[in-house]
Amino acid sequence: MADRLSTALARAHEALAHFAPELVCKGIWGSPAGKTLLAQRIVSEIPEHRVYVEPFAGGAAVFFRKPLAPGDNVLGDKDRWNIELFNDLRRGRGLEGCGPNGFPATKAVFERAKKSKTACSKLKQSMMSFHGDRKTFFKSNKDTRRIGQQKLRKLPLYGKKLRKAHLVVGDFSKTMRRFDSLDTLHFLDPPWPLASGYSEQFYHGGTSAAARAKTSTKNDRKAFDPHHVMDVSSKMKGSVFVIYGDHPDVRAAFVEAKKRGWKIYAQKVTNSSGVGMRKVINLIAIKPPGALPKRKSASKRKRPRCSGRSC
Ligand SMILES: C[S@@+](CC[C@H](N)C(=O)[O-])C[C@H]1O[C@@H](n2cnc3c(N)ncnc32)[C@H](O)[C@@H]1O
């Protein structure tokens, strides 16, 4: 009975994917500091656009939530793992073992998934790991219950939407420049500043074993500097929407950006910290279309001194 029900549901989702390819849905896998829980709210706040660029895509929670842009839709990430997974999903490749019945969330399944590079193993790794870091088994899943049914049932829907997107492996600045125009919207959810004690652990460019596994060059860390991210963004013709967790380095970069014409605001939200829900502050900066004036040189800028989480 249960099998017949899940087969019927899978068929219904396939039909939906066929007839309503733009249907919005939740991000498929969590990535560190991903915006799955916030995506709906972000979508309602981003400016109108014809071309959509998400150059720090991660799990692309906002792309999956929003309707497709009428022009190009672009997902970029420096982490090849991410983009190759999107590519496999849109081709429906390597998904054996990720059927609509989900999979048991056990350490053994997780460890096996870490040794394989198929799309299904990657999904398992990501769904079972702490903050989506792909390395650390999420300890609260000690039982053998099956997980992932809801999302895996919708795989055809994700694949359909991904087939409409350009997928790019590379630094955010290159991706932004390549697809920039006056009617482009760049949505940026960059890695947190290094001093937050977060990016070191999880991201491409960080220093922990999990992060190092994703890194190719030292230059990758430039993207962890909010001043650099805001500088690159200020040069774009299109509008730019940037969202960060609250941090002194981000505040300093946003204060400067405001002087150059960016609109800045803070948002109090309930977020998942990996072990439950908590209230956090997000800082948002929006640049209107058109390039902005240059900022002062680095030596004239006052930068907050901080190290570790407490700064
Ligand atoms: C905060 S996460 C994005 C989360 C995403 N919004 C989501 O919904 O899951 C930041 C992403 O930036 C990527 N990244 C780090 N350095 C980068 C760079 N220099 N250029 C492009 N992407 C980069 C990381 O691999 C990570 O996927």
- pLDDT confidence of residue 105: 87
Cα–Cα distance, 97 to 221 (Å, whole number): 36
What string of DSSP letters covers 191-254? PPPGGGTSHHHHSTT-SSHHHHTT---GGGGGGG-HHHHHHHHHT-SSEEEEEEE--HHHHHHH
Cα–Cα distance, 210 to 152 (Å, whole number): 25
- pLDDT confidence of residue 48: 93
Q: How far is the CA of 310 from the centre of ligand 1 (A)?
A: 24
- pLDDT confidence of residue 130: 76
Domains of the chain: 24-80+160-293 (3.40.50.150)
Ligand 1 mutation target, pool 122, 186, 187, 204, most atoms within 8 A of CB:
204
Q: How far is the CA of 57 from the centre of ligand 1 (A)?
A: 5
- pLDDT confidence of residue 189: 94
Average pLDDT value over all residues in the chain: 80
Question: Using CA positions, which residue lies closest to atom 19 of ligand 1?
Answer: 171
- pLDDT confidence of residue 146: 84
Q: Which amino acids bring their CB within 6 angstroms of ligand 1?
A: 27, 31, 33-35, 55-56, 58-61, 77-79, 82, 171-172, 189, 191, 203-205, 220, 223
Ligand 1 atom closest to Cα of residue 27:
8
Closest CA to 253 of 280, 222, 225, 221: 225
- pLDDT confidence of residue 234: 96
Closest CA to 86 of 186, 164, 203: 164
The two three-digit tokens of residue 99, written as one number: 């059927």
pTM: 0.81
- pLDDT confidence of residue 27: 65
Q: How far is the CA of 129 from the centre of ligand 1 (A)?
A: 17
Provide the residue-wise pLDDT of the chain in tens; the chain has 311 residues: 555 655 665 565 555 445 444 444 556 766 555 577 788 889 989 999 999 999 999 889 999 999 999 999 999 999 899 999 999 999 999 999 999 899 988 889 999 999 999 999 999 998 888 777 788 887 655 556 788 888 898 899 999 999 999 999 999 999 999 999 999 999 999 987 755 555 555 555 556 655 555 555 555 678 888 999 999 999 999 999 999 988 888 999 999 999 999 999 998 877 655 445 667 788 999 999 987 776 665 555 555 544 444 33
* Residues 6 or more apart whose Cβ sits within 8 Å of residue 5: none
- pLDDT confidence of residue 271: 63
- pLDDT confidence of residue 23: 46
